[in-house]
Amino acid sequence: MTTATLIRRRPGLAGIRTDRSWLFRICLGFVALLVLLAIVAPWIAPHDPNAVDLGSALAGPSGAHPAGVDASGRDTLSRLLVGARTSLLGPLGVVVFSTVAGVAVGLAAGWRGGWLDSLLSRGTELVFAFPGMLLAILIVSVYGPGLTAPVLALGVAYLPYVSRLTRSLVLAERERPYVEAYRVQGHSGLQISLRHVLPNIAPVVLAQSTINFGYALIDLAGLSFLGLGVPPLTPDWGRMVFDGESAIQSGYPLSAILPCLAIVMTVVAFNVVGERWADQVARRDR
Amino acid sequence: MSTTTEPHASTGPDAALDIRGLRLNLPGTARPVLDGVDLTVAPRETVALVGESGSGKSLTSRSVLRLLPPGAVAEGRVLVEGRDVLAMNPGELRRLRTHTAAMIFQDPRAATNPLRRIGDFLTESLRLNAQVPAEEATERAVRMLDAVGLGDHVLRRYPGQLSGGMLQRVMIAAALMGDPTLILADEPTTALDVTTQAEVVGLLDDLRGQFGTGLLFVTHDLGLAAAISDRVYVMYAGRIAETGPAEELFQRPRHPYTRALLDSTPRLTAPRGRLAAIGGQPPSLRQELTGCPFAPRCRLATDVCTERAPALIPVADGNPQPHLAACHHSDQLTEVTADA
Amino acid sequence: MRFARFAARRLAEMAATLLAASFVIFGAMYLAPGDPASFLLSGRSATPDAIKAINEQYHLNDPFAVQYLRWLGQVLQGDFGRSIEYRTSVSNLLAARLPTTLLLVAMALVLVMAAGLALGWIGAVRGGATDSTILVTTTVAVGTPSFVAAVLLQGLFAVKLHWFPSGGTGTGLLDTLWHLTLPAVALALYLIGMLARVTRSAMLEALGHEHVTVARSRGVPERSVILRHVFRNSLGTVLTMGGLIVSTLLICTVLVESAFSVDGIGQLLDLSTTTKDFPVVQAVSLIIVGLFMTVNLAVDLLHPLVDPRVTLGERRSAA
């Protein structure tokens, strides 16, 4: 089995290839811009994202409010900018957790085998039956709304995808001659796996994690949309879509459309970048 | 092995296949892949088309069914029963492919859809194109399977459940389904093991006689060509290098390439010795050709060979069938037996 | 018989995974801070009577294993306990809402299959500008979460154009279908994009096989060649996506039903999570996991029918 088939791709998205490198560049640029904006958001946001100005509620774009005002009289642009932080930090938490823990579990299972390996495959089976979103909802129903519990739940739900990938990569890597050479020289298994195996498998795992970022963003934004994610006042894109629903009903769709666009564009950008990396890794493999 | 069919004068409107000046250009190449090919197959005649891979022999046979690679531009005429295949409309082309000419492919495993039953494969072109009722088509399929020595239980099988030899028999049965006047066999034995090869070739020859079809047998195997065919065409770099009656061509080759091919073919009857490999490579499609395409590999080559392309001209007379060769020095070649 | 043995083994595996899932679903309430009684009652008046009642209903004084087995036994008999919020049996709640959700999922599934397969087919066969347009559109579709689609569709087709109702479930079959159209489209959009891409690449792969040329060489009309040899051969890949498609549809009903106020089990899961009505959360979770696993089992059993090369028990990798 090649690496390309192991990565849990957006199925069929592999069509975005070299001939569309302009798309990749645009998406990579968009991701970079987004991260930059999220970092500097508190300083460049024109208003306090929670400042309520009921007098201008649902107002259209103007000099003071370039992207209009939502139903509660809050500045949409400021909420979008500051909301980018929550909307990106959540998926980042999921991806970091699932990558670090998944690589650790996968390395151990691949290197040691035995009971750890069979436990991993059982766990993978279970998690595949449990959509990440469902696990997150289950946890929220126990702990109550908030970002930490769903991020951890999704981190757990995404972990097997990373660990399964890592395990198979480690199994392949273990057979390479250089590992035996290091072993003969008296290096310990832990040393070899951390210093030599890990760097070799990192690009594949990172491609997988980038694709996971898009999934996590969709799941977390969905939870916030349900009111189960971030606390009510925190600016967040999913939450903004929920708030914007009532504005849409009253015929002022702008405050809902903009966060919708932000979510779609971000997910698409991460997908395209991740898939492109996965393709490159697959090609290098061949 | 060839049956006692009376060789006809193999041109004119009564030929099963008559290719005239076929030239085929592919995008991104410097010279035509087929460069003025003339080839005929009379009714009930077996003709072998011999050449190395890349010589254009498969393309020639495929062009008879207008199975051209994307972007290919064809000139000349490909007449099947007197009608030009290259000028047919889609309906005529389908009728040709269903009823007039059929092809047997090299790898029967790749040529059959693994997800469809043999019965479906055999009958589909009749049912879908000629609107033959299913029962009638199945009846014919049973008869054809019987002709190739397979029982009707094969109808319910999937290709994956048959051996390569059985599957190639199925392919032959499929070719006969539409009662064609011409069968094109494109290296039909290359993918099979040796014992099966002989069976399949024998079967093909029998059925050709039984059903009265013309057969164009494409192969790289000279021994096989000699065994099965009435006449032979030897192809090199998209051109016909030599053609003539099978026996005469192998006894007295008049083109150095045919000669080199014969010398590089292992034979039990020949005295032991080193096989003479042909030095060098066939010309690439990326470079233009001036003169004889075989000149760089030819031990008889002189200045004229690199300057002027030799025409395909008669080299022997007194035969009912012409023996032609495209070589400036064909008179310098001696008989095989005297030399070996 | 080989098939029976294979089916039995897969059923046993499914039962084992379901058991593990039920354990997770039941055990989750012990992760809550504080004791289970106050968790189950959270937000509601915790009078001593109420605590006593909840202790009795859940047998919270028994050891954990006993509680779990008792709960499992009841679930197997179709008894999911009593809803704390609605003060009625969970099974009644589900019976009233499950048909709506199943209808919605079925409508979305039909849309996904029809549009996804058609777009994939057109993209693979036509190529050129049509293909590029489909690729770009599906790239966007695959990046559009169902709730975003729900809100945008609602804004355009319900609020602005008044073509469809902006929410609710309706009464009578026709009215219900009319009410569920927009939710079904919202639910389907992401999967249409995904399936179109999978179909497209599977068909492009199938187009390259020699038996396709052979079929053409035998005079089979082009449309039949595509249908019988190209499309047919990519169905196996589509089938392996079945489990993923259904589980995505089911879990996304939570978002879409909430957005359109459709009273199905998705909305019920959302409401009961907000109100911490844990017996209901448990029941809906179990149903979603169970349905997903059933579909996966069906896919595994059907696969040899679609592709005779597949020996029972091993899946061909989706190319």
Query: What CA–CA distances, in Å, run from B217 to B104, B169, B224, C8, C9?
Result: 10, 16, 10, 53, 52
Q: Which chains touch C (3 or more CB pairs under 8 A)?
A: A, B
B83-84: strand order across its sheet: B34-41, B17-25, B73-80, B83-84
Domain A16-40+69-285 class, CATH top level: mainly alpha
pLDDT confidence bin for A7, thresholds 50/70/90:
low
pLDDT score for C185: 95
Sort strands B83-84 and B34-41 into parallel, antiparallel or unpaired: unpaired
Dihedral of CA atoms A111, A115, A120, A125 in degrees, nearest 10, equals 140
C-alpha–C-alpha distance, residues B269 and B340, integer Å:
10
Residue type, B174: A
Which has more confidence, B14 or C154?
C154
pLDDT, tens digit, 9 for 90 and up, residues A138-172: 888 888 778 888 899 999 889 888 888 888 888 88
Q: Which of A52-66, A105-119, A195-209, B154-168 has the least mean pLDDT?
A: A52-66
CB-based contact C146:C186 (threshold 8 Å)? yes
- Those of residues 266-285 in A touching chain C at CB distance below 8 A are 267-268, 271-272
Conformational region of residue B74, where left means phi above 0, alpha means psi within -120 to 50, and beta covers everything else: beta
Query: What local confidence, expressed as pLDDT, does residue A10 receive?
Result: 52
Q: Give contacts of C218 with chain B, Cβ < 8 Å.
A: 97-98, 102, 124-125, 174, 178
At C316, the pLDDT band (50, 70, 90 cuts) reads very low
The DSSP code for B16 is: S
pLDDT in the model for residue A190 = 78
The answer to whether A184 contacts chain C (CB < 8 Å) is no
β-bridge partners, B79 = B18, B84
Read off the pLDDT band of A249 (50, 70, 90).
confident
User: A4 falls in which pLDDT band (50, 70, 90)?
Assistant: very low
C-chain CB neighbours of A251 within 8 Å are: 159-160
pLDDT surpasses 50 at C315: no
Residue A252: what pLDDT? 76
- What the block records as the tokens of B62 is 């495929």
Residue C87 has pLDDT above 90, yes or no: no
Position A96 scores a pLDDT of 95
pLDDT of residue A155: 92
Q: What is the 3-state secondary structure (H, E, C) of B95-147?
A: HHHHHHEEEECCCHHHHCCCCCCHHHHHHHHHHHHCCCCHHHHHHHHHHHHHH
The nearest alpha carbon in chain A to C240 belongs to: A11
Torsion of CA C70, C74, C76, C81, to 10 degrees: -130
Looking at residue A129, what DSSP letter applies?
Answer: H
Q: Which residues pair with B242 in a beta bridge?
A: B234, B325
CA distance C218 to chain B (A): 5
Closest chain C C-alpha to A227 CA, distance in angstroms: 8
pLDDT at A1: 37
B295: contact with C, CB 8 A cutoff:
no
Question: What is the DSSP-derived secondary structure letter of residue C311?
Answer: P
Q: Model confidence over C105-119: pLDDT tens digits?
A: 999 999 999 999 999
Q: What is the pTM for the complete model shown?
A: 0.84
Best interface-test mutation with C: which of B124, B129, B170 has the largest number of C CBs within 10 A? Answer: B124
Q: Collect all residues of chain C within an 8 Å Cβ-Cβ radius of residue B96.
A: 219
Class of domain C95-315: mainly alpha
Q: What token pair was written down for C281?
A: 């959360």
CA-nearest residue to A10 within chain C is: C194
Helical H runs in C154-231? 173-207, 210-217, 222-225
- Which chains does B contact via 3+ CB–CB distances below 8 A? C
Looking at residue C50, what is its pLDDT?
Answer: 75
Q: How far is CA A186 from CA A174, A175, A181, A192, B188, in A?
A: 16, 17, 9, 10, 58
Cα C67 to Cα C58: distance, rounded to the nearest angstrom:
7
What's the whole-number mean pLDDT along residues A61-68? 72
The helix/strand/coil state of A259 is: helix
Q: What's the pLDDT tens digit per position in C236-264?
A: 888 888 888 888 899 999 999 998 889 89
The rounded distance, in Å, linking the Cα atoms of C303 and C310 is 7
pLDDT by residue for chain B (340 residues), tens digit each?
Answer: 444 344 444 445 578 899 999 999 988 888 888 988 999 999 889 999 998 888 888 999 999 999 988 888 999 999 998 889 999 999 899 999 998 999 999 888 999 999 999 999 999 989 987 788 999 999 999 999 998 989 989 999 999 899 888 999 999 999 999 889 999 999 888 878 888 888 888 888 888 888 889 999 999 888 888 888 999 999 998 899 999 888 888 888 888 888 888 887 766 555 555 556 677 777 878 778 788 888 888 888 888 888 888 888 888 766 677 888 888 887 777 654 444 3
Residue B98 sits at the chain C interface (C-beta within 8 Å): yes
Question: Above 90 in pLDDT, residue A93?
Answer: yes
Residue A220 · residue A140 · CB < 8 Å: no
Helices (H) and strands (E) in chain B, counts: 12, 12
- Model confidence at A20, in pLDDT bands (50, 70, 90)? low
Cα nearest neighbour of A13 on chain C: C197
Domain boundaries, chain A: 16-40+69-285
Residue C42 has pLDDT above 70, yes or no: no
Give B177 or A8, the one with higher predicted confidence. Answer: B177
Residue C212 pLDDT greater than 90, yes or no: yes
CA gap B292, B286 in Å, rounded: 16
Predicted local distance difference test score (pLDDT) of residue B10: 44
Q: What residues in B contact C216, CB-CB < 8 Å?
A: 67, 97
Average pLDDT of A3-8? Answer: 50
Nearest Cα residue in chain C from A142: C32
Nearest to A141 among C21, C160, C281 (CB): C281
**Phi and psi angles of residue C62, each rounded to the nearest 5 degrees, phi first:** -75, 165
Residue holding tokens 């310098």? B332
Provide the pLDDT for residue C300: 84
Mean pLDDT of C186-194: 93
Cα dihedral sign, C235-C240-C241-C245? positive
User: Residue C190: pLDDT band by 50, 70, 90 thresholds?
Assistant: very high
Say how far apart CA B98 and CA C188 lie, in whole Å.
43
Q: What is the pLDDT of residues A194-206, one digit of tens each?
A: 888 888 888 888 8
Q: Between β-strands B83-84 and B73-80, what pairing exists: parallel, antiparallel or unpaired?
A: antiparallel
Query: Do residues C191 and C248 touch, judged by C-beta distance below 8 A?
Result: yes
Nearest partner of A169 among A270, A274, A285, A279, judged by Cα: A285
Cα separations (Å) of C296 from A7, A161, C286, C289? 20, 18, 15, 11
Read off the pLDDT of residues C259-299 as tens digits, 9 standing for 90 and up. 888 989 999 999 888 888 888 898 999 998 888 888 888 88
Which numeric CATH code is attached to B1-88+101-108+181-268+277-340?
3.40.50.300
Range(s) within chain C of domains with CATH label 1.10.3720.10: 95-315
Q: Is A184 exposed, middle or buried (0-12, 13-18, 19+ CB in 10 A)?
A: exposed
Distance (Å, whole) CA C187 – CA B255? 72
In this prediction, residue C28 carries a pLDDT of 83
pLDDT of residue B97: 92
**Token digits of residue B54:** 């890349």
Assess contact for B137 and B125: CB atoms under 8 A.
no
Per-residue tokens: A205 = 């795992």
What b-and-e string marks burial along C274-309, b requiring 16 or more CB atoms within 10 Å of the CB? bbbbbbbbbbbbbbbbebbbebbbebbeebbebbbe
Q: Which residues contact C161 (CB under 8 A, 6 or more apart)?
A: none
Q: How far apart are CA A245 and CA A195, in angstroms?
A: 51
Report chain A residues whose CB lies below 8 A from the CB of C24.
126, 130, 138
pLDDT at position A230:
83
What is the ipTM, given to two decimal places? 0.85
Is pLDDT of A19 > 60? no
> Which residues partner with B157 through β-bridges?
none
CB neighbours (10 Å) of residue B337? 10
Average pLDDT, chain A: 81
pLDDT, tens only, B63-101: 999 998 888 899 999 999 888 999 999 989 999 999 899
* Residue A68: predicted pLDDT: 74
Question: Are the CB atoms for A110 and A166 separated by under 8 Å?
Answer: yes
- Paired tokens of B311: 């025409």
- Give A221's contacts in chain C (Cβ within 8 Å): 145, 147-148
Contacts of B311 (CB under 8 A, 6+ apart): B326
Both ends of chain A: CA-CA distance in Å? 11
Are β-strands B46-50 and B231-236 bridged in parallel, bridged antiparallel, or unpaired?
Answer: parallel
pLDDT digits (tens, 9 = 90+) for B266-325: 665 555 555 566 777 778 787 787 888 888 888 888 888 888 888 888 887 666 778 888
Cα dihedral across residues A164, A166, A171, A172: positive or negative: positive
Integer CA distances (angstroms), A231 to A49, A166, A242, C151, C258, in order: 14, 35, 13, 21, 18
Q: Tell me what percent of the residues of chain C surpass a pLDDT of 90.
A: 32
Assess contact for B130 and C218: CB atoms under 8 A. Answer: no
Chain C residues near residue B118 by CB distance under 8 angstroms: none
Region class of A12: left (phi > 0), else alpha (psi between -120 and 50), else beta: left
- Provide Rg for chain A, Cα atoms: 22
Residue C277 Cα to chain centre, angstroms: 22
Interface test with B, best of C213, C217, C224 (most B CBs within 10 A): C217
